[in-house]
Amino acid sequence: MNSNLNKRTTFIDLGLIDYQQAWDYQTDLFNKILAVKSENRNRPNNEQLATNNYLVFCEHPHVYTLGKSGDEKNLIIPGTDLASIGASFYNINRGGDITYHGPGQIVVYPIVDLENFFTDIHQYMRTLEEAVIQTLNEFNIEAGRIKGLTGVWLDVENPIKSRKICAMGVKTSRWVTMHGLALNVNTDLSYFNNIVPCGISDKAVTSIEKELNSTQDLQQVKKILKGKLASLFEMQLTE
């Protein structure tokens, strides 16, 4: 057992931040963790350095991001028209296809060393989903998973009515994670009409606001989601 197992996790809320700025920010944290792991290769077991963990929350201005396995044809709106709707577009280094981020959506970037928690990517993804499912349950919204699809869905048993409320896409290297999840709270869902979300053409998207027919307190949703993530990963959160 690694005596340097470190579940201390720094919580950071960046607020509304440009996508590129946030990407640079998480890349910097990601690389710093990898640098410590590289240094540990040359250190004896009793001199191993603990690796840091970060839980980053934010919102983005309107932006479309395409994962490295995605198809640019899933951006339906011509790229030249993006400016007219106040949106930008990025090819990025996470898994998954195309998605949308915008105001009223909680974006979560866990930059963590999974060797401090558990070394299982499948378990990591399911734990992120579980935190969202439990958060939605606090609002009496019954959510779940659809076999073969990542993210969190409503009406999972009904293929015609099922709709996505949370998208996910991550990158990992040597058990260090970046990117994460996006939960639609008060999101302007019309922006999803310009893409084939996550490359899935036969499923709708939704938000907490749409399901409850009322605008939500974003800070309250953040607080609940933060608590669920900390509990499920057994993080010792510090601000």
Whole-number Å distance between alpha carbons of 41 and 47: 10
Please say if 166 is a catalytic residue: no
CA-to-CA distance for 33 and 212, rounded, in angstroms? 40
pLDDT along the chain (239 residues), means of 10: 77 98 98 97 93 98 93 91 95 91 98 97 98 98 95 94 96 97 98 86 90 98 98 96
For the chain, list the domains and their CATH numbers: 61-105+115-233 (3.30.930.10)
pLDDT attached to residue 96: 84
Candidates 106, 131, 185, 198; catalytic one: 198
Q: What is the pLDDT at residue 5?
A: 83
Helix (H, G, I), strand (E, B) or coil at 56: strand
Quote the pTM value. 0.96
pLDDT of residue 111: 98
Burial class (CB in 10 A: 0-12, 13-18, 19+), 216: middle
pLDDT of residue 196: 86
3 state SS of 137: helix
Q: Are 145 and 156 in contact (CB under 8 A)?
A: yes
Name residues whose C-beta falls within 8 Å of residue 169's C-beta, 6 or more positions apart in sequence.
67, 94, 95, 96, 99, 150, 179, 180
> Residue 115's closest CA among 11, 2, 8?
2
Three-state secondary structure call for residue 101 = strand
Surface-to-core class of residue 13, CB atoms within 10 Å of its CB (0-12 exposed, 13-18 middle, 19+ buried):
middle
Instruction: State whether residue 27 is helix, strand or coil.
Output: helix
